[in-house]
Amino acid sequence: MACGKRRQEETVSALSLVLLGLCAVIVQSSVVGVARYFLDVHQERPLSVIGRSVIVTRVIFTGLSFLSAIFSTSALQGLLALVFLAFLSLFIYLDAASRCLPRCFTLAFGLTGAVWHFLLYPETALPALLTALSLFGVLWALRTLAYRRDGGAQCGLGDVYLMAGLGMWFAFPTVFWVISAAAVSGGLFLLARRLCQPMQWQENVNYRSAPFAPFLCGVAAIDHLWLMGSYL
């Protein structure tokens, strides 16, 4: 009896892992479809311009989604984790391909973060909201000052909404660590570009900049997975 019960539990566990893997694959494949459809409908640069990065990003985020679902302590937490990573990969595709972060997606991302807190951690909902609003206010003010002084802004408004949205998902010190780590990663990437291809750096103005969302979302995904694992 004990042996039969153990085998049944192992079968259920294996089946659960297969279902989680399928969910991760389906969600991330759907995200690619949404990104491709949005860019085509709005006549932006197609997703194909980033080449194999689409496949690499999909594989990485499928794996992260699978691990995040395994680390979840409840079905609701697992579902919201899948949604969180789906938004992050969507922002990577859109920003890398056409450098656009539509407000409809960034606002939905922030609202989903609010749902995350209200359902799972209601005591942190108000601090998260204050963090998001403070981030938005400070970043928007800095962007406005830079635009008036230089006639242009290094940080796009979509990035501002995205960073404010992250404030709804992460605690107060964590979100600043995520933004800082992303900024450092982006700076090192541009430094490597300059050192490896100095001629192209001098001749091509566009080569001196890079979309920020891939760095921001990459760091956020890693930190999210680390936090999920620390709950175990």
pLDDT digit string (tens) for 157-202? Answer: 899 999 999 999 987 888 999 999 999 999 999 999 889 888 888 8
Taking the domains of the chain in order of start, what are their residue ranges? 2-230
Contact 135, 167 (CB under 8 A): yes
Residue whose C-alpha is closest to residue 169's, from 115, 232, 226? 115
If you search the block for the tokens 């605690």, which residue do you land on? 171
pLDDT tens for 52-100 read 999 999 999 999 999 998 888 888 888 999 999 999 999 999 999 999 9
151: left (phi over 0), alpha (psi -120 to 50) or beta: left
Residue whose C-alpha is closest to residue 163's, from 141, 132, 117, 186? 132
pLDDT tens for 108-119 read 999 999 998 888
What is the 8-class DSSP label of residue 119?
H
Cα–Cα distance, 167 to 230 (Å, whole number): 20
pLDDT for residue 59: 96
Residue 171: helix, strand or coil by DSSP? coil
